Amino acid sequence: MIHSNIRSDARQAPVLNLISRREETAVKQFLAILCLLLLPAALSSPASAKKHNAPVDSSRVTSPDNHIIPYQRIGAIRLGMGMDEVQSMLGKATGWTNADTISGATWNYGDLNLQISFDKGAAPVVTSIRTVAWSRKPGTLGNLYWKGIEPVKVIFQTIDGITLGSSAFDVRRAYSNYGYEDVQGFSMNYKSLGLSFSITRDHMVWAIGIYQPQ
């Protein structure tokens, strides 16, 4: 009788193993389906949206307005501001070049389309400000075309309505009462106004700068 029970248990063991394997497979399938259901939610989570699609907060630089005022300011950034004031207002630059024996430091704020240069003093102050349409890839003035420019995120404009993306002809008509220095066809420098316009090969404005009176 004992031998009969042993044989019966032996026959049941494969059945129990089969049930366990089926349960394990079912659990794995359930977990796989659950992961697929949760994946879209993870990709569209606030953290992911903030990283990839966060809107540009231009209020820190366009207050009180987005005007380009020669000899004074672009937006809220003014000539003569201390380096510490700029950093307090805009935070850390996204790119920069350090001061050397010839010139002071230059800070780039990519998301604000701003480039700010300082003097070489012990307490550096802003000497020039430019709003810049960034190039998609490194290049030189001689081969820069508007089609190679990234979309402009923050728009600044002169009181005459000139902004990034205006044509060189718009600039010339807007300031027809003033002469300008033409630098190899790639820059229109209105020294008497304290304004300079950098021009692409297809005659579009890709940068507007102001500087201290010379």
For the chain (length 214 residues), average pLDDT per consecutive 10?
44 44 48 35 28 50 83 95 95 89 90 95 96 85 86 94 97 96 93 94 96 77
Question: What is the model's pLDDT at position 188?
Answer: 96
Where exactly are the structural domains of the chain?
2-52, 59-211
Residue 128 has a pLDDT of 96
Q: Which residues contact 201 (CB under 8 A, 6 or more apart)?
A: 142, 143, 144, 145
Alpha helix positions (H), the chain: 2-43, 46-53, 59-62, 83-90, 168-174
Give the model's pLDDT for residue 96: 87
Tell me: cis bond preceding 64? Omega within 30 of 0 counts. Answer: yes
| pLDDT of amino acid 212 | 80
161 phi-psi bin (left φ>0, alpha ψ -120 to 50, beta other): left
Please give the pLDDT value at position 58.
66
Q: What is the pTM of this model?
A: 0.71
Residue 62's Cβ-count burial label (10 Å; 0-12, 13-18, 19+) is: middle
Residue 136 backbone zone (phi > 0: left; psi -120 to 50: alpha; other: beta): alpha
What pLDDT is attached to residue 21? 54
Measure Cα distances from 145 to 136, 149, 161, 169, 207 in Å. Answer: 10, 7, 22, 16, 13
Per-residue pLDDT at 200? 95
